[in-house]
Amino acid sequence: MNELTATTRPVHALVLTGFGINCEEELAAAYRLAGGEATIVHFNQVLSGETSIHDYDVLNFPGGFSFGDDLGSGVVMANKARFRKLPSGRTLLEELRAFIEAGNYVVGICNGFQMLVKMGLLPDFAGQQEREVTLTHNASGRYEDRWVRLAVNPRNRSPFLKGLTSLEVPVRHGEGRLVIRDEEIRSRILAEGLNCLTYCDATGCETELYPHNPNGAELNCAGLTDTTGQVFGLMPHPEAFLSLYNHPDWARRKRLDPNVSEEGDGLKLFRNIVEHISQSRAAQPAEAASNEVSL
């Protein structure tokens, strides 16, 4: 029996799929390329209790078109999390709160971000699973599929963004416009640096100008965390830019600089979280780390 201590066990990501989610493979690849492990399971395997989120370190809600965006992007999946009881007698949202309180991480990308917002987990000031912000139809009135530049808020709380100041990543969505419920929520998001990613122009300056801000989001906000920094949602797709060769301009960039990094900006986020969790474990007191995990 191969026994690993908690400190040496690889970081393990759970990546959900099903019902029209379509970015699970790239997301799992991102964790594997970053040195972690990733398991893809159908949403129903979690709801049925067949898979426990508590066996993992990072729970991932990928992008896609869950339930065809009927009732609004992410709404049906969010309601499944809010109302369906697992065999434990708790809803997935209640299990998620326990998962977060145990120090684990939750990520929602695009459709996944829409789910987190609509189940009330972002920014979650009240802790009452109520919608404090929402993500709705792009101001352009059309589906936006383009590359954007993002500025990283230096006061952000997410280990995914450690050491990063800017990112170039693709967006592809119809309902990416962040709308904030009221001035109190807006002020708290700004005061606490929860608007971790903002759309910016080619010079790196935050802008509301289309198409740099592709959807008209308030605060030019492309990504949010909760106050713990453990819940992170974003509209752009970092898992779609893991390699230089994912970028449409790769040939020119390679010609201009033959030594240009062959990694995409998106991979940096996954390297950060794998490293952060690994280091956090290694720093745990001996008695905690001695909890052996028999594999």
Ligand X SMILES: NC(=O)CC[C@H](N)C(=O)O
Residue 239 contacts ligand X per CB under 6 A: no
Is the CB of residue 124 less than 8 Å from the CB of residue 228?
A: no
148 burial via Cβ count (<10 Å: 0-12, 13-18, 19+): buried
Tokens encoding 106: 């939750």
Residue 73 contacts ligand X per CB under 6 A: yes
- Contact with ligand X (CB under 6 A) among 51, 60, 111, 153: 111
From the list 24, 26, 95, 110, the catalytic residue is: 110
**Number of C-alpha atoms within 13 angstroms, CB side, residue 42?**
7
Closest CA to 57 of 244, 280, 295: 280
Residue 237 a catalytic site member: yes
- Contact with ligand X (CB under 6 A) among 40, 46, 53, 63: 63
Residue 110 a catalytic site member: yes
Strand residues in the chain grouped as ranges (E): 3-5, 12-17, 37-42, 58-61, 105-109, 133-136, 144-152, 166-173, 177-180, 197-200, 221-225, 231-234, 292-294
Shortest Cβ distance from residue 63 to ligand X (Å)? 3
Shortest Cβ distance from residue 252 to ligand X (Å)? 26
What count of other Cβ atoms lies within 10 Å of the Cβ of residue 168? 16
Q: Which stretch binds ligand X (CB under 6 A): 63-71, 159-167, 195-203, 286-294?
A: 63-71
- Contact with ligand X (CB under 6 A) among 108, 123, 174, 264: 174
From the list 144, 200, 239, 247, the catalytic residue is: 239
Closest CA to 236 of 172, 158, 151: 172
Residue 110 contacts ligand X per CB under 6 A: yes
- Contact with ligand X (CB under 6 A) among 57, 132, 175, 239: 175
Residue 64 contacts ligand X per CB under 6 A: yes
Site size toward ligand X, by CB under 6 A = 12
Binding mask 154-173 for ligand X (x = CB under 6 A): ------------------xx
C-alpha pair distances (Å), 92 with each of 84, 117, 134, 247: 7, 15, 20, 36
From the list 137, 144, 175, 237, the catalytic residue is: 237
Residue 65 contacts ligand X per CB under 6 A: yes
Amino acid, single-letter form, for residue 3: E
Nearer to ligand X, 87 or 141 (CB): 141
| Nearest-CB residue for ligand X | 63
What count of other Cβ atoms lies within 10 Å of the Cβ of residue 199? 28
Residue 239 a catalytic site member: yes
- Distance between CA atoms of 124 and 188, rounded to whole angstroms? 11
Q: Which stretch binds ligand X (CB under 6 A): 60-68, 155-163, 220-228, 267-275?
A: 60-68
Residue 144 contacts ligand X per CB under 6 A: no
Sign of CA dihedral 255, 261, 267, 269: negative
Residues lying near ligand X in the complex (CB under 6 A): 63-65, 69, 73, 110-111, 172-176
- Which sequence positions are flagged as catalytic? 110, 237, 239
